[in-house]
C-alpha cells in the first residue's frame, strides 16, 4: 500500500513555498544559498511495484518458477535528501531500496535516466539497491531463471515515479540514527569450521569452503 508522508503546513506556509519554488526557476541555477538559510530536507515515498499481470517469473531458486497471485505487496522505498546548499537542488540525492532479488546495472541506469529527467537529480547521485527477496518477479537472468521482460517494462518507470514522488514530499527534517539487535530471528549462515571439515562446494567445486 502506498503511503504519502502528510504535510502539516498552513495555507500561509504553502503560499511561501510556492513563491520560493517559482523563485528557484528564475534564479541562477547554480547560485549558492547563504549559510544561515540552509535547511536540510527529506522526502519519502513507498511506490507499489506489485505485478499486475500474471503469471510472472520468480527468481532466487535453482529452478525457474512462476507466481499466479500476490501474497504480499512489493515496494520501492524512495528517499530524497536535500542539504539545502544550493537554490536549484543540485545537492539532492536519492536512495531507493527495491523489493527484488537482484537487478542488472542496465535496468538501474534506465531508472536513473527517467528519474533524473523528472527530478533534475543527477544519475550519479541516485543509489538503488535490492532487498534480495527470493519471492519477487525476476528482473535479471540468474539462478536458473530468465528475466521477466514484461515486469521489467512495468517496474522501471514505477521506481522512477517513486523517486519523483519522494522529491515532491520534501520537508524540513532532522538526521538521527539508532542501533538494534534481533538475535532470535536473525543469524549468520556462515559456519566457522576446522580446516578439512568443510564439504566441497557443490556449485563452484571449491574444497574446504
Higher pLDDT, 85 or 78: 78
pLDDT of 135: 94
Higher pLDDT, 33 or 3: 33
Residue reference for cell 527484488: 100
pLDDT of 70: 96
**Res 6 pLDDT > 50:** no
How large is the average pLDDT for residues 75-104? 94
Least-confidence region, from 61-65, 67-71, 97-101, 160-164: 61-65
Which residues neighbour 121 within 8 Å (Cβ) at sequence distance 6 or greater?
Answer: 80, 89, 92, 93, 94, 115, 163, 167
Q: By C-alpha distance, which of 176, 192, 177, 172 is closest to 13?
A: 172
**Cβ–Cβ < 8 Å for 163, 73:** no
Whole-model pTM: value is 0.74
Q: How far apart are CA 201 and CA 3, in angstroms?
A: 44
Strand order in the sheet with 171-172: 126-130, 93-98, 75-82, 41-48, 171-172
What proportion of the chain, given as a percentage, has pLDDT over 70?
A: 82
pLDDT tens per residue, range 27-84? 334 456 665 678 999 999 999 999 999 999 999 888 899 999 999 999 999 999 999 9
Q: How far apart are CA 1 and CA 182, in angstroms?
A: 26
Peptide bond into 55 cis (omega under 30): yes
**Res 25 pLDDT > 90:** no
pLDDT of 34: 63
Average model confidence (pLDDT) across the chain = 84
Amino acid at each position: 500500500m502506498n503511503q504519502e508522508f502528510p504535510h502539516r503546513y498552513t495555507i500561509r506556509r504553502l503560499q511561501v513555498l510556492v513563491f520560493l519554488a517559482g523563485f528557484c526557476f528564475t534564479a541562477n541555477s547554480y547560485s549558492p544559498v547563504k549559510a544561515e538559510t540552509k535547511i536540510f530536507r527529506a522526502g519519502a515515498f513507498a511506490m507499489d511495484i506489485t505485478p499486475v499481470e500474471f503469471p510472472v517469473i520468480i527468481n532466487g531458486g535453482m529452478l525457474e518458477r512462476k507466481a499466479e497471485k500476490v501474497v504480499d505487496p512489493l515496494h520501492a522505498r524512495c528517499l530524497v535528501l536535500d542539504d539545502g546548499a544550493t537554490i536549484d537542488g543540485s545537492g539532492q540525492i536519492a536512495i531507493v531500496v527495491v523489493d527484488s532479488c537482484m537487478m542488472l546495472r542496465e535496468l538501474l541506469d534506465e531508472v536513473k535516466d527517467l528519474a533524473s529527467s523528472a527530478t533534475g537529480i543527477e544519475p550519479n547521485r541516485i543509489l538503488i539497491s535490492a532487498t534480495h527477496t527470493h519471492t519477487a518477479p525476476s528482473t535479471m537472468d540468474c539462478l536458473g531463471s530468465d528475466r521477466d521482460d514484461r515486469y521489467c517494462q512495468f517496474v522501471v518507470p514505477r521506481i522512477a515515479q517513486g523517486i519523483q514522488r519522494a522529491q515532491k514530499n520534501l520537508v524540513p527534517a532532522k538526521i538521527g540514527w539508532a542501533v538494534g539487535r534481533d538475535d532470535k530471528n536473525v543469524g549468520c549462515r556462515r559456519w566457522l569450521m576446522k580446516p578439512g571439515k568443510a564439504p566441497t562446494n557443490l556449485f563452484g567445486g571449491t574444497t574446504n569452503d
